[in-house]
Structure 1
Amino acid sequence: MISSLNKNSLYAILLLFCLGFTWGTSFSIAKFAMESGITPLGYSFWQSLGPAIIVLIFALIQNRKLPPLNSKHIVFYFICGLLGIALPNLTMYFSASHVPSGILGLIVNTSPIITYILSLLFLIEKFSWQRSSGILLGFLGIFILFFPKLSNYSEYKWMLFSLFTPFFLASCTIYMVKYRPSKTSSIELSSGMLFASTLLILPLVIFSNAFHPISFPLNTPDLFIIIEIILSSIGYILFFELLRIAGPVFYSLVGCIVALAGLFWGYIIFNENIKPIEWLSVLLILSAIILVTKKKINDQS
């Protein structure tokens, strides 16, 4: 019979893979949307508002009441919306026009290392050679995937600027774990965070005239937006739930799964063969997940 700890670990791994493949698929859809002429801000607005509405509907069905709107929760929503969505999206979008996507992917995936360092500084995690080795193995696997993209690039100022993206994401992760309001479900927190990020992004969309209207019948770009709204809605619920049961360091490995998702969709959609060196990367990433998972995962309420 599987012990309680093993069940929790398996549940966390399942959430990690589901979230990673959801976000990995989302990145592919976002690329198609950008190539179809949708502005990054216009796209980002719908990816906040659309999931906010869907997640709110599920929250109302589940709890039959609105998410908490007291001062403590509102501050939590806006800080998470700022650090977890608005700021990292802006820094990533500005960097994307100057930094090749492969290099940007490598930089964004430094988030596990930053998250682990912040977890130690804020006393959320105790130092563990096992977990440190797992984080480094995961990053090494990511590095192997993206290393061929590094050879002919020298715009280091923009590379340094793009480091704000993983720093904001890691900071948001730490904040969520340390200050998550008690007795509030993952779906309620997701809804509040998404509405907060929508309110933060809306002025930028208006002042930059970047709003993209969705019209029916749906054309191809609008269909991409709708599909991404559905995936994002699922992803944000998985995101909070994974943080709740497994903590920030384990969650930070989601970037590794996103990278594997990129390999998977490249093979399925673009018929790209997976090279032996990429199989080594897969092996390193899976080893990293095993090492980090072996540490006890707390089943918090």
Structure 2
Amino acid sequence: MIPARHLPLVLMLILGNLWGLSFSLSKTAVLGGIHPLAYVWMQTTGATLFLFAVCYRAGIKVPTSRRHLLLYAATGLVGTVLPSITIVTTALHVPAGIISTLVTTVPMMTFTLAVTLGLQRFEPLALAGLTLGLIGVLFLVVPDASLPSADMTGWVLFGMLTPVFYATNGILAARLRPAGTSSLAAALGMMATASVASLPVMLATGTFHPLFAEGPTAHDLAMTGQIVITCVAYIMYFEINERAGPVYLSQVSYVVNVAGLFWGFAIFGEVPSPWLWATVVLVFAGVYLVNRTTRAKPA
């Protein structure tokens, strides 16, 4: 039995490893011909069906008040649809390990948003951390030798939208979630909203991709794995957010980065450049300084 005070940490380690693997899975899926819009719809629809079954079996009702619908709509769009599109689109053009490194900046962006909105007090130490993180990202895009190809620079900058969306979603999930909302219900509402929102866009663009139409291909299996990860990841996401808050939750990007680099090497043979390692060190140092100024809520 895991003590309650350690549960957020355990969940965060599991969640970080799952999300770290998901970058390589998404790269495999889109390189195999699955369009980003189809990817988002299959990911969210599979998770919706799974979470609905779990809620039904557990007798958990999904609230449909105006406040709850706002929570589902906001987190479904900002926390799932938009970052999923930016991730899988970027994955077509840059190594999976670089994407996981970009996501490491989520804590700094979360802190910046929290300070801007008056949810967190600004500390000089945080400014030093934010500066280190910015320098780290610049190391990734400015030197000519930092990326395998100079053509990737624009895609790296585009990929920076992903941590912006995740940071925004962490704030929205904390601010909009009505007291007493089950993590399962919140995750189901989020996934269902994302599924419904992405369906007409996918159909209008003709990008639907039937799974296993040509047998169990690598990209079909990767897409299936991504659906499974999504099914369980957002339950953990809302649970950590409720128990420890959005700034604490944002530290999952530490684990995501390390796991993402490992899986990128294991699956694609991606060997990080010295500039990428420098980026990892600076971003980790920056996130550490930012988190020194924050405190997690008691469970």
Among candidates 117, 125, 131, match of residue 112 of structure 2: 117
CA contact (8 A) 1:124 1:178 kept: no
Q: Counterparts in 2 of 1:1-301, with a 5 A limit?
A: 8=5, 10-62=6-58, 64-95=59-90, 104-128=99-123, 149-150=146-147, 153=150, 160-215=157-212, 219-220=216-217, 221-266=219-264, 268-269=266-267, 278=277, 281=280, 285=284, 292=291, 296-300=295-299
CA contact (8 A) 2:36 2:89 kept: no
Q: Equivalents in 1 of 2:266, 2:8: separation in Å? A: 26
Summarize the Cα distance change of 1:265–1:156 in structure 2 as closer, same or farther, 3 Å threshold: closer
CA contact (8 A) 2:97 2:272 kept: no
Give the SS at the match of 1:90: helix
Summarize the Cα distance change of 1:25–1:153 in structure 2 as closer, same or farther, 3 Å threshold: same
CA contact (8 A) 2:107 2:251 kept: yes
Report how far residue 293 of structure 1 moved. Answer: 7.7
Gap regions ≥5 residues in structure 2: none
Q: TM-score, normalised by structure 1?
A: 0.79
Report how far residue 268 of structure 1 moved. Answer: 4.6
Amino acid at match of 1:18: I
Report how far residue 282 of structure 1 moved. Answer: 7.0
CA contact (8 A) 1:15 1:238 kept: yes
Q: Which moved more, 1:148-157 or 1:28-37?
A: 148-157
CA contact (8 A) 1:67 1:192 kept: yes
Report how far residue 254 of structure 1 moved. Answer: 2.0
Q: Which moved more, 1:189-198 or 1:214-223?
A: 214-223
Q: TM-score, normalised by structure 2?
A: 0.80
Report how far residue 93 of structure 1 moved. Answer: 4.5
Gap regions ≥5 residues in structure 1: none
CA contact (8 A) 1:109 1:142 kept: no
Report how far residue 39 of structure 1 moved. Answer: 1.4
Q: Which moved more, 1:167-176 or 1:84-93?
A: 84-93
Question: How many residues are aligned here?
Answer: 294
Report how far residue 223 of structure 1 moved. Answer: 2.3
Q: Which moved more, 1:64-73 or 1:270-279?
A: 270-279
Identical columns (%): 31
Summarize the Cα distance change of 1:167–1:268 in structure 2 as closer, same or farther, 3 Å threshold: closer
Q: Equivalents in 1 of 2:140, 2:124: separation in Å? A: 24
Summarize the Cα distance change of 1:201–1:32 in structure 2 as closer, same or farther, 3 Å threshold: same
Q: Equivalents in 2 of 1:246, 1:14: separation in Å? A: 12
Give the SS at the match of 2:20: helix
Q: Equivalents in 1 of 2:77, 2:167: separation in Å? A: 13
Report how far residue 269 of structure 1 moved. Answer: 4.7
Q: Equivalents in 1 of 2:164, 2:62: separation in Å? A: 28
Give the SS at the match of 2:79: helix
Summarize the Cα distance change of 1:138–1:247 in structure 2 as closer, same or farther, 3 Å threshold: farther
Q: Equivalents in 2 of 1:122, 1:12: separation in Å? A: 25
Q: Which moved more, 1:93-102 or 1:119-128?
A: 93-102
CA-to-aligned-CA distance 1:121-144 (integer Å, 9 cap, x gap): 223223356666677777878888
Report how far residue 193 of structure 1 moved. Answer: 0.4
CA-to-aligned-CA distance 1:168-227 (integer Å, 9 cap, x gap): 221111111112111111111000000000111111100111111134795123222222
Summarize the Cα distance change of 1:134–1:20 in structure 2 as closer, same or farther, 3 Å threshold: farther
Q: Equivalents in 2 of 1:225, 1:274: separation in Å? A: 25
RMSD: 3.8
